[in-house]
Amino acid sequence: MRSLLDSHGSGLATRHRFFLLAVLLVPLFGCSTVGYYFDVINGHAEIINRAEPVPDVLASDTTRPAVKAALVNLQQARNFASTDLLLPDNGSYRSYADIGREYAVWNVIATEQYSVKPKQWCYPFAGCVSYKGFHHKQDAEAQANELQQQGYDVYVAGARAYSTLGWFDDPLLNTMLYKDEALRVELLFHELAHQKIYVEDNSAFNEAFATLVAQEGVRRWFEYTHNNEAWQTYQVSVQRRLAFNALLRATRQQLDNLYGQPLDSATMELRKQAIFSALKANYATLKQTWQGDDRYDSWMAQDLNNAHLALLGTYYDQVPEFQAMLNQANGNLAVFYEQVAALSEKPDTTGGTRVSGLVR
């Protein structure tokens, strides 16, 4: 996806270039795959064609005050990201696009009926990842239905942003304008971190690195803006997020243990459903300590399956090791980035993911 997107052209000429590229890819990937790439390219082009420089959006009388306030805040955080967090100083997130929907993309995640290992999709230039993204919800749901018919557990997850990894200037989107400032700037820092360091075929490395950089970025941002109250609130939020994900990871481990047992399918299914029922009960218990915080209620109300739990470790399992690396660098981000970049280039001959000298 990285080199298939063109953020500089627009209109009919751009679409002609996209079409030509799709035709050239047919011998390599087949018609159905090229159709998917064309949809991805065209979907991104639609977003780019809606983008306007942030100063123009701020100057417009039609821009709602809440949007203006969020964009001012994000532009300040964007500058801070480059000057203080040493993240790329380029044209990304200096324009704004209202794409008229709740999510930027919808990702399809799939596992086998009795497995917690996600299905992999591989793409030229970007490598292999554990999901397949779509710009239109109906396309994601069609893919999910097809996989369900093949016997997979599936989950369609909306994502508020995605990165072209620095190949093009990604705009800020209406989907990124959380009311909570911490969530807004955390998402911004996360996406910029992907532009800083990205390793093909290693989602766990990439997402954990970006998660650590984003969380450290939020801490430094609130220190810079002297907003200790917001920092304290964010810390509580992160702790609850970690507690919730720990509950889900424990459930995933129970399922993984179950699926390794030599059981008939009927017994396996009964025990699988019992584990998911226990998850809901355990969540209700956990939430009792959260003073009415119900942020995960709607997610837990879904008909949960393996796919909902498949990517949990991708974002969080390796964060403590990246945190240890930052601590060893005494908080010096330049040194930290150099160490992470060097680590990402080391070959892994063990079949695991190498982080901070460890194999996961």
Q: Which pLDDT value is given to residue 22?
A: 39
Q: Which pLDDT value is given to residue 140?
A: 96
Query: Interhelix angle for 228-259 vs 181-196, to 10°?
Result: 60
Count of the separate structural domains present in the chain? 2
The tokens of 260 are what? 């390794």
Asked if residue 55 is part of any domain, the answer here is no
Sorting pLDDT into bands at 50, 70 and 90, what band is 204? confident
Neighbours of 284 (CB within 10 A): 11
Asked if residue 46 is part of any domain, the answer here is yes
Asked if residue 169 is part of any domain, the answer here is no
Sorting pLDDT into bands at 50, 70 and 90, what band is 173? very high
Q: Which pLDDT value is given to residue 356?
A: 31
Asked if residue 30 is part of any domain, the answer here is yes
Q: Which pLDDT value is given to residue 10?
A: 31
Q: Answer with the one of 50, 70, 88 that is the final residue of a domain.
A: 50
Domain of residue 29, residue span: 1-50
Q: In a 10 Å sphere around its CB, with 0-12 CB exposed, 13-18 middle and 19+ buried, how is residue 232 labelled?
A: exposed
Asked if residue 41 is part of any domain, the answer here is yes
Give tens-digit pLDDT for 247-279.
Answer: 999 999 999 999 999 999 999 999 999 999 999
Residue 333 has pLDDT above 60, yes or no: yes
Asked if residue 295 is part of any domain, the answer here is yes
Give tens-digit pLDDT for 12-57.
Answer: 333 333 333 333 333 344 445 777 888 888 888 899 999 999 999 9
Indicate the average pLDDT of the chain. 86
| Whole-prediction pTM | 0.83
Angle 353-244-253 from CA coordinates, rounded to 5°: 50
More confident residue, 123 or 224: 224
Asked if residue 303 is part of any domain, the answer here is yes
Asked if residue 294 is part of any domain, the answer here is yes
Neighbours of 108 (CB within 10 A): 25
Q: In a 10 Å sphere around its CB, with 0-12 CB exposed, 13-18 middle and 19+ buried, how is residue 228 labelled?
A: exposed
What is the largest distance, in Å, between two alpha-carbon atoms of the chain?
66
Give the Cα separation of 223 and 238 in Å (integer).
Answer: 17
